[in-house]
Amino acid sequence: MLRICLENVRTKAPLVHNITNYVTVNDVANILLACGASPIMADDKEEVEEITSICGGLNVNIGTLNHNTIPSMLLAGKKANELGHKVVLDPVGAGASTLRTETALKLMNEIKFDVIRGNISEIKTLAYGSGSTKGVDADIADAVTKENLNDVVAFAKAFAKKTKSVIAITGAIDLVSDANTCYVIQNGRQEMGRITGTGCQLSGMMTAYLAANPEHTLEAATAAVCAMGLAGEIGYNNMKDGDGNSTYRNRIIDAISNMTGEQLQSGARCEVL
């Protein structure tokens, strides 16, 4: 299934509309191209409905939200819902400011998201209405560990049931869950946290996976998470003496561009809980 999800992206080359932050936008565009999709970025309210209409999916990321782009997110999301397009929410920094938390909640109220992907602190903030984050990074106290895994799986399932969205919580251990089934993924490396944008890139790529596998949202989201983690491992193995986090960033995107379905299928460390 993972193999097929990846191959469908390469075959169908979905066009993905991104309303995303200006910090990691270039990486999001490059990883979308790397995985076989096509990115378009557009955030003016005059054009977002039209742009999203020609796309297969919409990726909404609040990383550098502002009073111009928030209305655009709402317009684009509603239009995407109306057209049955896949929509992903990346609530970057929810919990770090009232604007972010309230915007994320407002987006969730007015738009049906197929997947909500964030770190554990962001997702807890959305679930409980308030929370603690370390800026755009997860609070260490929230970390998903072997010890609390069952609790977090239960939390993810409950929140998926409540929101009717697939919930993807990424970190050292990744969870991708609907109300009934939770995939636990143990790919990736902790060094991925020392480069900016791996989360944003994953949300962009996940939108492409959903758009190319419309009947299999949970599996497609899981496949994207596995692919990103595996790319983190492959990219790390390709590092040489003197390489550091900037080269690592390139190596991860490189690994996505070279990844085959077979490689993903055999490299994924994914179990069902």
Size of the site for its own copies (CB under 8 A): 63
Applying CB under 8 A, among 5, 55, 123, 226 the residue interacting with its own copies is: 55
**Any binding-site annotation on 170?**
yes
Cβ-Cβ contacts under 8 Å for 127 (sequence gap 6 or more): 155, 159, 162
**Any binding-site annotation on 117?**
yes
The nearest distance, CB 246 to its own copies, in angstroms, is 4
CA distance 124 to 128: 6
Q: How far is CA 95 from CA 76, 119, 129, 149, 197, in A?
A: 24, 11, 8, 22, 18
Residue closer to its own copies, measured from CB, 97 or 266: 97
The nearest distance, CB 164 to its own copies, in angstroms, is 28
Structure tokens at 16: 């993905």
Residue 256 CA from chain centroid, whole number: 15
Site for its own copies, residues 151 to 210, rule: CB under 8 A: 194-197
DSSP H helical segments within the chain, as ranges? 2-12, 25-35, 48-53, 69-83, 98-110, 120-128, 149-163, 198-212, 217-237, 245-258, 261-267
Applying CB under 8 A, among 94, 96, 173, 220 the residue interacting with its own copies is: 96
**Any binding-site annotation on 36?**
no
Applying CB under 8 A, among 2, 60, 65, 230 the residue interacting with its own copies is: 65
Residue closer to its own copies, measured from CB, 87 or 270: 87
Site for its own copies, residues 207 to 266, rule: CB under 8 A: 234, 238, 242-247, 249-258
User: DSSP assignment, residue 56?
Assistant: S
Cβ-Cβ contacts under 8 Å for 128 (sequence gap 6 or more): none
Q: Is residue 145 a contact point for its own copies (CB under 8 A)? A: no
Q: Is residue 25 a contact point for its own copies (CB under 8 A)? A: yes
Residue closer to its own copies, measured from CB, 27 or 174: 27
Residue closer to its own copies, measured from CB, 32 or 218: 32
Q: Using an 8 Å Cβ cutoff, are 211 and 17 in contact?
A: no
Q: Tell me, residue by residue from 34 to 53, as one string, x for binding to its own copies by CB under 8 A and - for no binding.
A: x---xxxxxxx-xx--xx--
Radius of gyration of the chain (CA): 17
The nearest distance, CB 105 to its own copies, in angstroms, is 15
Which H or E element spans position 88? strand 86-90
- Give residues in contact with its own copies (CB under 8 A): 15, 21-27, 29-30, 33-34, 38-44, 46-47, 50-51, 54-55, 63-68, 93, 96-100, 134-137, 194-197, 234, 238, 242-247, 249-258
- Binding positions for substrate are 41, 197
